[in-house]
Structure 1
């Protein structure tokens, strides 16, 4: 999806008037408990953590290392199985707010990226989008990055090696589990054949599909409260469909199915092959100064309008903009939501 290129330029702009700190593998990664599940043995706790993307800047910290304070300064905090990403953070000088727009990845206990092999599996996460207004994107997605970060300085432990279907960094398969705010959401596979990527993808947006009250404040899935999002990748050997289920207050709600994709860049089969090899979990929060996220939540895609969705208006009206992801589980279909 081309608006991700805007995210790249946004991260670049954050480096202005700030010293760039190159992180090394010795940095302190905030712990984030996750679970890997099977139908036979239930869910097993994983000793995972998160790492900021290498291009993030830091208000604190010495060159060569990053601390928990640096993560907080970039809008990232973890507690047990929950991670919260804040778009705006205080500069510490007069209380002025600056955009942080953090992007993080999931690390294993050995300091490499967790490679989620999800073909024939499911991924579930509890989400709280209540403080994510129009024009914002709290993104939870998969990228076929290399487990070690591609060999660059510091490797995965320094947040190296990002790639996506917009060819930011380099070209690779991307599966957008959630691009969302409190008013709209989309799930979108972006398969690639080499450097030929499906940049637009074949997404499913409930609002655009006529389900205008499915995902809404006070809606069938009430985005003013926490709920669970389950994404299932059906198929054995070949991906046949991607399905969504929402769970809130004990009630399950179907959230749509994608059963075909653009075959010119590999289609569902290509997406499934990437899922089978293993993909890295990425999480971010950002906004869109060019299109005001209209491709996600305005016009036919959602109830938002351009005026309320500008970055300036969001910062003025919603300075506490943040998203929380928690209770991340992956494994056999039907295993991640079993108590």
Structure 2
């Protein structure tokens, strides 16, 4: 037991140093560091003296919330806290009530029903919801990541961490901890994380919240790109493919297609998906396919809002590919920081 715990703690320490060295300046890197600290607290709680159990217990209880936040920052196109108020509240509830009620024996089934329920049982369900939500965020958005190699590394990284975290949480909440099994699982997962970090370096935890460069911005500094290559030798993307993409999207207005996906665009260009991802990423510096499509749609919307002052906004939204007015308003405000109505009014001659 102590041997496996020491092995796992050593693996955690190595990964911690790698993340601290390369990603400490990123918010997502700082959250990942806390995940590693909480995992170390879980391992130490198996061998620590009783007087330190309360502190280690409070730290490791934050694991599900930290994992959810890690997934949100790494994968969600809208990681702002105000867009996820309910989940933020659930994350806080998952570890604050247990920490406050632990001294009063909330974990004891013989405690008062309200104390045991509010301070122990309900936070347990909150932990499971947070882990599942984190995995859902990972699965829901990874296909839109335009950097092929980074997509694969990230999905493997966070799924391995999520599976291990789920195993740890179940073992803690239901008394299924066999010591060797959990400690060994954490050690293996940590080795996998370390391998992925060393292999992916610039791709695994790269900050996704930086604004993509405008398609017309020719002075933008190229972003670090990890491109999956086909059997043919590595070479710069042919200009003909970029020209084909530009013709289809800008001249034929293919971006107006309702429910447009990367697969649909790849079929239209008769190219594999990984190649289309690379073209959009290298040529226009976009990291997310939806951002690329929304930018083109909103550019046309802005032009029509000014040149067609009598056309209803809903008609414009439907014409450029949005199914509902609400989704159009949301995308427009995300890019222009104002509603379509406000934009139209601001462009009218005074």
Q: TM-score w.r.t. structure 1 length? A: 0.25
Greater C-alpha radius of gyration: 2
**Structure 1 or 2: larger helix share?**
2
Q: TM-score w.r.t. structure 2 length? A: 0.25
**Structure 1 or 2: larger strand share?**
1
- Asked which structure has the greater RCO (Cα within 8 Å, sep 6+), the reply is 1
